[in-house]
Structure 1
């Protein structure tokens, strides 16, 4: 069995088909832990993808996809709402990619990019209290809890990381 090495790539226009497949295939899986994106997300995906790329080009966000050797999207790691040297980290991994340390390595890589490429000084993140996997990834990548919040009506935590 060959060892594949998924690559982190900055989101591009040609990622759209693989990204849509990723979101469709994992829709139920994601909905178990975070609010569902809704049907409109899927029916207007191409339009939304173009909007995201325009916002990325303007420096508002930095979007990344984790891509397998075969070109499939295995995860997303995004830095959104860039302002004042800070951004919010968000990520989601495919169900078939879970438990392999991919989220931890991809988040670590994006933290490095945030400092070296994007000139950011700090990152923040949020997760629900019951999302043990997400909390573990944040802990392993240098984030520290910074207070309790409510996230979609559920108890959650804020995290911060200086870069």
Structure 2
């Protein structure tokens, strides 16, 4: 059973492997992180951990059956009881329900551990799988707009009553 873990420094090697192995897969539906992300990965991880420590973000990894990182699910821009949800799932785990299970677990965690009351998320308009995950997890569509030049669908979910 995959497990959700709060991001820690000792995830570095496995996280970098996850990002490298799935780079082309992710780039099919979200903007590529770019070569600098990989060249300066240790610095980037340190910055993420500092943001997490400051309470402005909550980063998580999802361990797969073999202990490898199978997904990431993150809450960013935490403010006034709300945050933006983002997630990515390794290609080999796609279509197996991992995204839905991970997002559901993070919604519960967001309410119970982080005291959040609402989440927002966006998905590329043509990324039907990601949009379905959000809908299965109780998010409702709030509108369509351009984000970094890409058409996206905005979503919202209240967390009261989790």
How many residues in Structure 1 have an aligned counterpart in Structure 2?
159
The match for 1:18 is 14
Q: CA deviation at 1:69?
A: 4.1
User: 3-state SS of the aligned residue for 1:142?
Assistant: coil
Match runs of 1:12-161 below 5 Å? 12-161=8-157
Q: CA deviation at 1:155?
A: 1.6
Structural RMSD (CA): 0.8
Distance in 2, Cα, partners of 1:12 & 1:145: 32
Distance in 1, Cα, partners of 2:43 & 2:120: 28
Q: CA deviation at 1:152?
A: 2.4
User: 3-state SS of the aligned residue for 2:138?
Assistant: coil
Q: CA deviation at 1:149?
A: 1.1
1:146–1:158 Cα contact (<8 Å) kept = yes
Unaligned runs of 5+ in 1: none
Distance in 2, Cα, partners of 1:41 & 1:156: 23
TM-score, with length taken from structure 2: 0.96
1:18–1:71 Cα contact (<8 Å) kept = no
